[in-house]
Structure 1
């Protein structure tokens, strides 16, 4: 026969005392779930994110005090829809790390990986074949459906040479381990603001990163079926890093890109004709990077709120 013990008085008192804490945790969990649901609603074609997730100034500002460092990725992925990983630029990560990042984030979340600097920081780009292969075979496909575009960043001293650059584009596969790859070029020398470069990028279907930084060329010319944007001009004195009107403008630009259009207000090498401004829907990846980095999460969430409002 099974007997049921009556709870001890001390246990009952402890349970009663714990109720407010449980209620607070439940409220916080509900808010997090609502945030994650709202974020996911925007994630079909538009991803807005930040660079990395381990950043000390975010603790106590973006991350609540009770979020441990081991849970920062989990928390960040509930409030933004993508993260650009910079550590892959400096060194090889383990396949187990990519698998762990995959498991820590919700469905629909995306990681952009900055490719190895050893592949792009070369005088002769074709000589980077081994570095390209080493990066692509390092276990990045452990991210599965959460693997977003691969960002290939070139040094500000790298001058455009059509033959040299095409030899590099020929090294980039369309698939790795059965998973489709998307490639984005971040070029940082003014010589790339050339119709010949755009023609090459379109030939190989690689995106050209729109970089909002006065030190680097900014061109919104479309060269692929997706758009990649890096915003670097946050102001540390503003709550969200940007004036509300600028965030409103970026929300409109993102909607235009996602709908298949081209924002005419942004700088282009080639003036988009009316015929080219309308196309099928595109995926858009926008990251708040560098420049008052402490404001990046607030800026990303403020932009997501605007995108979810319509």
Structure 2
């Protein structure tokens, strides 16, 4: 069985800081990251979706964590076709527009290329420290199975090489009927890692909890099962704490997935209060 690393999708969430999970001595960003890194071997950085990171910031992350610690980085929204706030774009690259949000087609090609270059370059300190895990590319609900979208997956892999992009879909067409095998075959043929998810079902963005390794790296993200999945309040959307029974049922599935990959990353994304941290700790104990 390959190595399994379990962590969470945040260590700075406001409700986590208010939950009491951190000891009172962890009263600075540096101390909180250091404390987190003693509890878990991996973390997913979601803030980079809302705004690209600065190289100075990633250098501090590398310096403040022990050898062997892993950061997975969520790709900036512009790179996954999501609407992106103009204010989130590098100041000197912002388009002159009255729009609050823009898409890749709304910026000049050279600007789009420069955003790619700066985003990847900012991760250099993590690469040099051996602490960069995967780059998470989570696509929007309208991004269905199409030839040009498959081509973009291959383009992303080429742009990121030798870094490892992993791909999370939020459109069920990738897994409807025979499409599931087509999707898995395509990803395996090109050694593109699928992000497996556990999430509420019955919504436009729902995809099934399909556990499959399509490369030497497997990633699983647990989003919870909140009955307020469509809420604009992110803490309502992800406000779900897994029971021990649920996690106990997941443990053998994760071990089976790890049998298919060299390394498996498991991230709890039910980030409301300390739910993710508590559940990640429980899952580690169950897997051990």
TM-score of the superposed pair, with normalisation by structure 2 = 0.74
Is the counterpart of residue 227 in structure 1 residue 218 in structure 2? Answer: yes
1:75 aligned to 23, 32, 35, which one?
35
- 1:146 corresponds in structure 2 to 131
Tell whether the 8 Å contact from 1:208 to 1:222 is kept in structure 2 after alignment.
yes
1:56 aligned to 14, 18, 22, which one?
14
Is the counterpart of residue 117 in structure 1 residue 102 in structure 2? Answer: no
1:135 aligned to 94, 114, 119, which one?
119
Q: Say what the alpha-carbon RMSD is for the aligned residues.
A: 2.7
Q: Within 5 A, what are the aligned runs for 1:139-288? A: 139-144=122-127, 145-173=130-158, 180-193=162-175, 194=179, 195-213=181-199, 214=201, 215=203, 216-218=206-208, 219-233=210-224, 241-260=241-260, 281-288=261-268
Tell whether the 8 Å contact from 2:143 to 2:149 is kept in structure 1 after alignment.
no
* Segment of structure 1 superposing worse, 103-112 or 158-167: 158-167
Tell whether the 8 Å contact from 1:154 to 1:188 is kept in structure 2 after alignment.
yes
- Alpha-carbon offset, residue 175 of structure 1: 6.1
2:4 & 2:278 partners in 1: Cα distance?
A: 17
- Alpha-carbon offset, residue 255 of structure 1: 1.9
- Alpha-carbon offset, residue 211 of structure 1: 1.2
- Alpha-carbon offset, residue 200 of structure 1: 2.5
Structure 1 residues 294 and 45, CA gap change in structure 2 (3 angstroms): same
2:174 & 2:224 partners in 1: Cα distance?
A: 22
* Segment of structure 1 superposing worse, 218-227 or 100-109: 218-227
Tell whether the 8 Å contact from 2:9 to 2:271 is kept in structure 1 after alignment.
no
Q: How many residues align?
A: 238
- 1:11 corresponds in structure 2 to none
1:61 & 1:74 partners in 2: Cα distance?
A: 16
